[in-house]
């Protein structure tokens, strides 16, 4: 017990001392870490005091002066006095206040002057951003407008000449082949103007026409593909003419859009006031019904070639072929060729959405089968074509479809793939005299290769022959008959005048028939599957015959056909 007690006391003493010295160590470490933090915080506080006392001394002084200024002003102007006295007092007080509170006024001016200068600068920038340098156009010291550059003026001048010369010879040509100066040469000057003051070519055009020596009037010019037709004084009347043409060509279909092929411009402005230029709506309507150009034909002369004709009329080879679809490179004298097609003033195009159903071809999948002989095949799943709905945008010009653009397709019925089993099993029957001439079917006999009677009308005039008769010179009896193609036996036995007969169905509508077999020679039975080249019987003379032979038929969908193309 004394030993355990001594051990316990020792452990206790060690623990007490460790705790005591550990506590002293952590206190020392914490004081060491806090020394730089205290030093930094003391430095920051000192800096704030210094800045507040010296750097912000002027600010504090200004604030104090402003407070005193406000209090002083209230005290001075609180007493009642007449208006003139108040004005004198105000001016006197301002002069005294500026001297007394110069720090407050100086500080205020240091803030106000930069702000005012910045506002002034922004206004100047905003003003000059709206200013552009432009050409000022003047006639006899009268400013008629401003343009961006000289090209705009030239365009305006050409527009003015085009309007004044509307096919009525109002513009004359001088000896130098120049247009007479009904429009004088202007004076140019580069000046700064606001962007809103700059004129377009059309605006300058009207100004030039006003300055010309022509008799003019305000009207609406009608231009088709840039070519002047006439001018109508009332723009509404002109628009109604074109609207009437469009309404006459409307089909009543909700999805049809009717428009003009040509680009039609209605330009309101000044035009020569004469009968050749200014027309009414009735004239415009009648004009648009006529042809702009008539069809032109050329009769080929002796010595003409197609290349000479193309060169003579200045047209391309593709254009003359387009006009004359049946044309060949060889032309003959007297032949009439269309060299210029009829062209109307305006053509109406109708664009509408149309739908059509299109068949989707089915896929053919061939699957190898070891239950069928090589060369044999069986259709296990008949293919079916699918169907899809095609949405297309069709454009008609004068009722003739000229373009079709497909928009979308949606499947109505998915196609069904055709699955065909293709034989891989070796056919033991394709030897020992079985012959193929490369056709769909094998030659149906072994040893007999001569045809005594062909398919069709008999030479003897005793009716129609539905097959071919096969014989062997010197005697046909007993020659082996083989299946021309693999299939299913549908008949094996006696068949009226055909005698002993075998009929094989090959699928897909094909059937072969073998007549006049030798009695007791049939080697297959009805319902049996037979392979290509498999023996099925022997040649005999049963039924209505004049001698031993094989009558061989091929039928497609129940109708007899000539076997020879299938045998090659």
CATH architecture of 295-341: Roll (3.10)
Contacts of 306 (CB under 8 A, 6+ apart): 317, 320, 327, 329, 330, 331
Please report the pLDDT score of residue 45 as a whole number.
Answer: 76
CATH 2.40.50.140 fits domain 350-422: no
Using CA atoms of 504, 506, 510, 515 in order, give the dihedral in degrees to the nearest 10.
-20
pLDDT at position 175: 42
User: How many angstroms separate the first and last alpha carbons of the chain?
Assistant: 127
Site of tokens 């750097």: 55
Output the average pLDDT for the chain: 81
Across 399-423, average pLDDT: 90
**Structural fold of domain 430-567:** Glucose Permease (Domain IIA) (2.70.70)
Residue 142's pLDDT is what? 79
Q: Among 64-68, 116-120, 485-489, 496-500, whose mean pLDDT is lowest?
A: 64-68
Burial of 164 (0-12, 13-18, 19+ CB in 10 A): buried
User: Which run of H or of E encompasses 67?
Assistant: helix 57-77
> Residues of 395-419 as b/e, b for ≥16 C-beta within 10 angstroms?
bbeeeeeeeeeeeeeeeeeebeebb
Q: Tell me the pLDDT tens digit for each residue of 419-452.
A: 999 888 887 777 778 888 888 899 999 999 999 9
Q: Which pLDDT score is estimated for 459?
A: 67
241: Cβ contacts below 8 Å, ≥ 6 apart: 281, 284, 285, 288
For 279-312, write each residue's pLDDT tens digit.
888 888 888 888 878 888 999 998 888 888 888 8
The answer to whether the CB of 339 falls within 8 A of the CB of 309 is: yes
Question: pLDDT band at residue 174, thresholds of 50, 70 and 90?
Answer: very low
Residue 178: predicted pLDDT:
44
Residue where the block lists tokens 């299938």: 566
Residue 125 confidence class, pLDDT cut points 50, 70, 90: low
Beta strands in 125-263 (DSSP E): 131-139, 142-147, 187-194, 216-224, 227-232, 256-260
Residue 564 token pair: 């020879």
Half-sphere exposure in the Cβ direction for 62 (13 Å, CA): 14
| Residue 47, token pair as written in the block | 């800096």
- Percent of the chain at pLDDT > 70 equals 78
Q: What is the pTM of this model?
A: 0.47
Q: What is the model's pLDDT at position 191?
A: 80
pLDDT digits (tens, 9 = 90+) for 134-146: 878 887 777 878 8
Say how far apart CA 154 and CA 160 lie, in whole Å.
Answer: 10
Query: Domain map of the chain by residue range?
Result: 2-55, 61-128, 131-214, 295-341, 350-422, 430-567
Are the C-beta atoms of 447 and 479 separated by less than 8 Å?
A: yes
């Amino acid at each position: 017990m004394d030993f355990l007690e001594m051990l316990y006391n020792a452990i206790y003493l060690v623990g007490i001392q460790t705790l005591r010295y550990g506590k002293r160590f952590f206190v020392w470490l914490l004081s060491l870490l806090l020394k730089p933090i205290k030093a930094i915080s003391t430095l920051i506080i000192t800096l704030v005091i210094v800045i507040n006392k010296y750097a912000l001394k002027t600010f504090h002084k200004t604030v104090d002066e402003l407070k005193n200024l406000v209090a002083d002003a209230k005290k001075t102007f609180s007493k009642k006095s007449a208006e003139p006295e108040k004005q004198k007092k105000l001016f006197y007080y301002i002069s005294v206040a500026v001297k007394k509170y110069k720090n407050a006024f100086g500080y205020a001016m240091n803030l106000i002057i930069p702000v005012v200068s910045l506002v002034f600068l922004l206004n100047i920038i905003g003003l000059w951003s709206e200013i552009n340098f432009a050409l000022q156009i003047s006639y006899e010291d009268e400013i008629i407008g401003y343009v961006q550059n000289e090209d705009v003026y030239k365009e305006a001048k050409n527009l003015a000449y085009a309007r004044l010369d509307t096919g009525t010879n109002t513009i004359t040509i001088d000896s130098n082949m120049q247009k007479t100066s009904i429009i004088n040469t202007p004076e140019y000057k580069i000046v700064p103007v606001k962007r809103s003051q700059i004129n377009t070519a059309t605006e300058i055009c009207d100004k030039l026409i006003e300055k010309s020596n022509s008799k003019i009037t305000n009207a609406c010019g009608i231009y088709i593909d840039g070519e002047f037709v006439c001018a109508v004084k009332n723009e509404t009347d002109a628009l109604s003419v074109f609207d009437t043409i469009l309404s006459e060509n409307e089909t009543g279909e909700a999805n049809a859009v009717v428009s003009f092929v040509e680009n039609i411009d209605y330009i309101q402005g000044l035009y020569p006031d004469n009968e050749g230029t200014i027309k009414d709506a009735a004239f415009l309507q009648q004009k648009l019904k006529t042809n702009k150009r008539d069809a032109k034909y050329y009769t080929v002369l002796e010595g003409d070639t197609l290349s000479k004709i193309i060169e003579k009329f200045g047209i391309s080879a593709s254009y003359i072929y387009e006009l004359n679809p049946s044309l060949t490179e060889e032309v003959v004298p007297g032949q009439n060729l269309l060299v210029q097609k009829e062209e109307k003033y305006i053509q109406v195009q109708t664009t509408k959405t149309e739908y059509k159903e299109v068949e989707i071809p089915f896929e053919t999948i061939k699957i190898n089968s070891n239950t069928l002989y090589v060369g044999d095949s069986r259709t296990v799943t008949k293919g079916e074509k699918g169907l899809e709905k095609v949405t297309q945008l069709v454009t008609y010009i004068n009722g003739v479809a000229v373009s079709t653009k497909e928009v979308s397709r949606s499947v109505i019925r998915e196609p069904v793939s055709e699955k065909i089993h293709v034989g891989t099993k070796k056919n033991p029957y394709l030897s020992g005299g079985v012959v193929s001439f490369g056709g769909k079917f094998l030659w149906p006999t072994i040893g007999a290769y001569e045809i005594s009677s062909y398919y069709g009308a008999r030479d003897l005039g005793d009716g129609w022959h539905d097959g071919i008769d096969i014989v062997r010179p010197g005697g046909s009896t007993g020659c082996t008959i083989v299946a021309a193609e693999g299939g299913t036996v549908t008949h094996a036995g006696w068949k009226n005048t055909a005698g002993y007969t075998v009929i094989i169905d090959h699928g897909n509508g094909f059937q072969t028939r073998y007549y006049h077999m030798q009695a007791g020679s049939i080697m297959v039975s009805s319902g049996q599957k037979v392979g290509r080249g498999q023996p099925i019987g022997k040649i005999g003379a049963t039924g209505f015959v004049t001698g031993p032979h094989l009558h061989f038929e091929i039928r497609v969908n129940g109708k007899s056909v000539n076997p020879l193309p299938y045998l090659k």
